[in-house]
Structure 1
């Protein structure tokens, strides 16, 4: 028997190298992510439970086809918002694809149900990191998307401005932000702002100016999203009155402004209560206050259902895609 023959069994019997033990920091981050996920799901579930009492009675009065179409409008609106965010992410670097973008945006957005909506942005950054994206890129894209969304909401909010000036005049200060927002949407200004954020984060600045197409598409998606949310509320409201284009314009503008005000009230889960106050104030100019309140509660429930269902679908689709791409053991 040769030396090689004797060494072969010894080599085969050698124990396989063991993976390096995980650091305490990595283990802590894993448990924190799990705890955050549980907290997010519990908060979203509580939002469903707490609204169910007053909502169930109102749902009975709404025709089933209006309910279905209204819920569909919410889903389409969230989809448009997700595509707008992905457009910005793709404009900052290598495109990430629709499935990955949906997983990061939709699952991360569930963090808004935890008091202090910063959790949504942190969750998106963490999901982006797991998908191979730098945290700074996800954070910068989210900031730009927020700015674009505010400008879009103020532009569309003009439709409800006459009513809002009489019902909630205290919100008119928001329009002081519109000229600033429009200037900030210029690609050179937007690129300078994004590079400044990256510099603060001690990251390299953008190596290219964001094109007009990226800014225009993201603004278009934001406007479409708010229009669809307005259609959603309008489909609910016409169940108690005649079909009216005026009410449709009012719903679109009120939803847009309400969501921006809810964004400012970030300490509340998903702007709960603040957005409803704006919607009730607007709708009560066309219907009794009790009905306006009921429809805003139904709207909140539909948004919660859509958020959870779409996040679950995106996560499930991403997991399925990962399992499909796994190599098969011989």
Structure 2
């Protein structure tokens, strides 16, 4: 039996550090969380966890679709393992840990670092673009919020232009040349981008449904609160993603949600919803990632040599 190499211990160290940050994050907010949960029924909390978990899975499928479009095909279980374990890096300070972790884990399935990082960056841009579009569509229906968030319209238009296959493909090749890497053999396609965007949009809708159930528990009217829940949460997440120094957008997301939910909830209730949502999503991230650990070695094709050879050549 071969001994674990340095790469194995780097992975273990990453998981331990990410878990430590997650535990500290939850523990520091536990008193406020317990007080907020005291105002809700556990049945409603459990119900809100279902679309939240489904949202994470939909986002992971969008990421998998983006990689496949670039030539990096992952099996469903393998993709879940790479995506869910890798995204724990978002709880560490900085913005690159998820990309690095996913790039390393994907090599177990013969997907090169170049394809994984490129696909992850495109996935992040698609998440931001579809999130901003969701906010633009849903927030005006809530309370004429477009007057406050008008600046998101040009952001969405700029994102659509940049993510056009004939624009983003040459840009990616230029960036790779600057990094002294071979250009991509396969540029992102219309079908791949649209399919991935559909998965990301579904993820935003499910995430908003999760938040809507929590808002109802605090007394928000069901009809007016639904578009605010979907659009407000999408807006808050996008702002959190853009604020790089804060791990997982801590603080930014909460402020945005309090402002977005103002028309239907008081500040205290809005902050309670934001807190419960964040803790629930954090716990789901770690629980769902842990569920992928028993994946058999047979499911991980493990042709790492082929992936290593691809690092400096065309995928």
Normalising by the residue count of structure 2, what TM-score does the alignment of the two structures yield? Answer: 0.87
Give the conservation status (yes or no) of the 8 Å contact 1:118–1:266. Answer: no
Segment drifting more, 124-133 vs 192-201: 192-201
Are residue 138 (structure 1) and residue 116 (structure 2) matched?
Answer: yes
For residues 1-330 of structure 1, what are the structure 2 equivalents within 5 Å? Answer: 27=6, 30-158=8-136, 159-161=138-140, 164=145, 169=148, 172-241=150-219, 243-318=221-296, 321=299
Aligned counterparts of 2:175 and 2:217: Cα–Cα separation in 1: 47
Provide the alpha-carbon RMSD of the alignment: 2.4
Give the conservation status (yes or no) of the 8 Å contact 1:152–1:219. Answer: yes
Segment drifting more, 314-323 vs 255-264: 314-323
Aligned counterparts of 2:150 and 2:281: Cα–Cα separation in 1: 26
Aligned counterparts of 1:297 and 1:320: Cα–Cα separation in 2: 40
Gaps spanning 5+ residues in structure 2: where? 302-315
Cα gap change, 1:298 to 1:30, in 2 (>3 Å): same
Gaps spanning 5+ residues in structure 1: where? 1-17, 324-330
Count of residue correspondences: 298
Aligned counterparts of 1:131 and 1:207: Cα–Cα separation in 2: 19
Larger Rg: 1
Q: Which has the higher helix share?
A: 1
Cα gap change, 1:208 to 1:120, in 2 (>3 Å): closer
Give the conservation status (yes or no) of the 8 Å contact 1:115–1:269. Answer: yes
1:31 CA drift (Å): 4.3
In structure 2, the residue corresponding to 1:316 is in which secondary structure?
coil
Give the conservation status (yes or no) of the 8 Å contact 1:88–1:145. Answer: yes
